[in-house]
Structures are given as C-alpha cells and as structure tokens.
Amino acid sequence: MASFVKQTFEPVVSTNLYPRSQIDIYLQVIQQDGGMLQACINAATLALIDAGIAMTDYVCACTAGWIEREAAIDLNYIEESSDTSEVTIAMLPKSGKVTLAQMESRLHVDKLEEVLSLAGEGCKQIHQVLDKTIRDRAEDLARKMAA
Amino acid sequence: MASEPTNLAISPAFTFSASTFQKLHPLEYFRKFASQGVRPDGRLLSSFRPTTVHYGVITTADGSAMVRMGGTTVVCGVKAEVAEPRLHAPDQGYLVPNVELSPICSSAFRPGAPSEQAQVVSEQIHRVLQESKVLDLKELCIEEGKAVWSLWVDVVCVSYDGNICDAALTSVMAALSNVRIRKPTYEEGVVKVAGVDLLDDENSFRLNLARTPLSVSFALLDTDLILLADPNSAEESISQGQIVITLDETGQLCAVSKVGAASSSQQLLKQCIERARERSQELRRIMNQEQ
C-alpha cells in the first residue's frame, strides 16, 4: 500500500521545486471499515496541501464495486469481505486523468468500464469535499493572521 | 572530444557512439527508435519477448518451473511442509509466496532484506492466489486442527531484464501445476510421510488448480503516451507508469493495476486488456506445450 501511495503522488508533487530533499508521508490507520487505500490517498492529499507542498492538482481517490448486479461506490468492510470485486481509482479532478487504478478480484471485462466510470464520479464528489475543507481552513487561517 | 583553443575558427563537433548516447540521454535515445515505431531491441511497441517454460528443473523440490522472458529468467520451487493450521482456518493449508531479487540477477539489487520491489511482487502474487481462489486450501488438510500442508513457493530471479511480475507469476503457476506431494498417513498425533519409492498416482497427489491467472505488464511513457508491452529493464527505468492486467483461462479479469503516470485511461486500459487477452492465450499455449 505504501508503494501505491508513493507511485500515486510521484507524478503530481512538483519535486523539482524541492531539490536535494525528501518528503516523507506517514499514514496511521486508526480505524478500518473498508476503502483503506482511498482513505490513505485522500488523507495524504490534504496533508500535503496543509504542509504547503506544491502539487499540480488534488489527488482524489474512490472505490467502486459490483454488488449483486449493481455497481456501487465506497464499499465498507462487510461489502468488501464478501465475494465482490472492488476497484480503487485515484484521479486528478481538473484534467480527469487517472494516476492509480487498482483491482484485485475477479470481474468480467464488460463490467469494468461501468465500475471505473462510477468510481470517477465518486472522485469528483470527493474533490468537492476536499476543496471545501481546504478553502474553509485557508479562510480561517487568513482571518486569524489578520486579527 | 575536447574543443580546440579559441583562436581556431572551427572546433570539432561532438560525436557519440550509440551506447554513450544511451547512457547520457536514455529518453532521447529511446525516442529516436519510438518515432519509427520500434524499440531499441528491435521489437514493435506491442510485441512480447520470446518466452520459454521448463518444468521439474529442481529435483529436490516438490514442484518447480523455470520461466525465461527474453533476458529475465526466474526459477520457482515449491516445497510442501507439514505444519499446524492457522487458528482461524483449522481445516485449510496455506501458500507462502516469496520473490527474491538478489545481486545475482542484477547489479541494481543490494544484498540484505528484501527490497520494496521484491516485497511488492511477492504481495501481488499472494493477492492473486488468494483472491482468485486458485487452490482450494481444504485439499491441503491432513488432519483438521492438527496438521495441514503449507506450501512454500519461492521464486528466485536468476537474471533480471525487466518485467519480473509476469515472469514470477507465470513461474508460480507452472510450478504449482508441477507439484506432486506424497500422501501422508496420520495416526496418534504423528504424521508420517515416508517412502523412498518413486512418486506415482498411488502414493502421491497433484494440486487441483481451479484456475490459472497469468499477468501481462505494460510500461507507460507519459510524456509521449506510449504503451510498451513487456518492458525490459532499460525501458522500465525511463517509463513513468506501469499497467498490469491479470487474466484467468476463461478471459475473466483477476486483477488490474495501473500506477504512476497520469493519463486519461479508459481507452488505454481497453487496449491493454485486449492485448493482454491475446498474450495470455499465447502464454498458456507455451506452458501446455512443455508439460
């Protein structure tokens, strides 16, 4: 999982602005209820922005799966543990480009497209949440500094 | 190659041999070939390297196979050991895959603890074996709650030239199909696996593989959106992303992985899956030929 997070952020973080330095991302899982990789990626995005590290875009991640002939997003632990397939997508919302696509269970090829596009939709929703959080925090900080 | 003193009007131009150019500007070197639709080793962008599979290469192992994909050679050995079952699954055996990338195969690897790459590949193989339910682990039970077979699946890379994922998984599948385990007897808490006679269908059993997933890898060069099938190590070092498609013999997807290199991927993934299907059939033909 650490390897996936590293490879997801490598093309996005502007490392050329920080020569001869290393950026460490520490992720601690406190509670697990499915969708661990997506939570790690979203948390890392927020942490990197909070740290002020330059990135070309947000990285939003979302899972989607196929449960009983219906595609669904954001599966929890019980849904994941049953014999269903699950796809995790990490996307750059501005350009719609995908930096990570991960699936580790059996799925019919025809269903893959639907599940992938649904996960993409989920990423856009996550982006709105992340964006709002960042902007609120920035306003909060600005207000406190002006006072 | 040093320039003449400045009072001369003309200084000799720099000329490089091809191998020097490759060391100084690996990406440019590659692009010169890619613009013609080929790769430095002469393959087309979508061609795979010649692959061979050999069975039973290690006589002391319970099952073994050697896979060569171009310059990458891996040997997989399977050893069955009687062990206590895990607490949560008292009637199931277990598989322990391990991939070893040591300095013997390439100067890029250092001796010591498994590198990140080796761990990632081992974990990938473990996930595929588990999620695709390749083996019914209940078949490995000797006596419920007391003794089960644990299979140590060791993949050793003998020569590294890129695409360790495909070679490793193919060798694991080939070795598992080659495994013959002597039938044990269980009495009064003691498992007896005895006999010096040769293994045959009477005194031993083979593994019943429910499906054989095989993976196909592609390297992604983001700046040019070039897809390379079966990258060698030089191509891996200049690529930014990787796509791995794992399919079983019915053509169903067992795993899809795309890392690095941001790209608008729907079309790209479809292309990969198509190519992976053809390649997976080809690989199975090669595997069945040798058996």
- Taking the whole predicted model, whether its pTM rises above 0.95 is answered as no
Number of domains in chain B: 1
pLDDT at residue number B20 = 85
Q: Would you call B189 exposed, middle or buried from its count of C-beta atoms within 10 A (0-12, 13-18, 19+)?
A: exposed
Q: How far apart are CA B289 and CA B98, in angstroms?
A: 27
The CATH number of the domain holding residue B217 is 3.30.230.70
CB contact under 8 A, A112 and B248: no
Q: What is the rounded end-to-end Cα distance, in angstroms, of chain A?
A: 43
Q: Is residue B153 part of a domain?
A: yes
Q: Would you call A140 exposed, middle or buried from its count of C-beta atoms within 10 A (0-12, 13-18, 19+)?
A: exposed
In B, which residues are within 8 Å of A105 by CB distance? 131-132, 254-255
Q: What are the residues facing B272 on neighbouring strands?
A: none
- Domain annotation for chain A: domains and CATH numbers: 2-142 (3.30.230.70)
What value of ipTM does the predicted structure carry?
0.82
- Give the rounded distance of the alpha carbon of A14 from its chain centre: 18
Q: How far apart are CA B247 and CA B170, in angstroms?
A: 12
Q: Is residue B16 part of a domain?
A: no
pLDDT at residue number A83 = 78
Using one digit for the tens of pLDDT, what is the confidence trace for B229-269? 999 998 998 888 889 999 998 888 889 998 887 776 677 88
What backbone torsions phi and psi does residue B249 show, to the nearest 5 degrees?
-70, -15
Q: Is residue B22 part of a domain?
A: no
147 residues of chain A, pLDDT tens digit each? 899 999 899 889 998 999 999 999 999 999 889 889 999 999 999 999 999 999 999 999 999 998 888 888 998 888 888 878 889 999 999 888 888 988 878 888 888 888 888 998 999 999 999 999 999 999 999 999 987
Closest residue in A to B222 (Cα–Cα): A11
pLDDT at residue number B200 = 76
Q: Is residue B34 part of a domain?
A: no
Q: Do residues B97 and B207 make contact, with C-beta atoms less than 8 angstroms apart? A: no
CB under 8 Å to B52, separation ≥6 — which residues?
Answer: B67, B68, B286, B290
Q: Is residue B124 part of a domain?
A: yes
CB contact under 8 A, B252 and A4: no
pLDDT tops 60 at residue B5: no
Helix (H, G, I), strand (E, B) or coil at A107: strand
Q: Is residue B13 part of a domain?
A: no
pLDDT at residue number B240 = 86
Using one digit for the tens of pLDDT, what is the confidence trace for B186-227? 877 777 777 767 777 778 888 889 999 999 999 988 666 788
As given in the structure block, the two tokens for residue B25 are 């500007």
Q: Is residue B161 part of a domain?
A: yes
Q: Is residue B141 part of a domain?
A: yes
What's the domain range around B255?
Answer: 42-290
Q: Tell me what the mean pLDDT of segment B172-183 comes to.
A: 91
Closest residue in A to B268 (Cα–Cα): A98
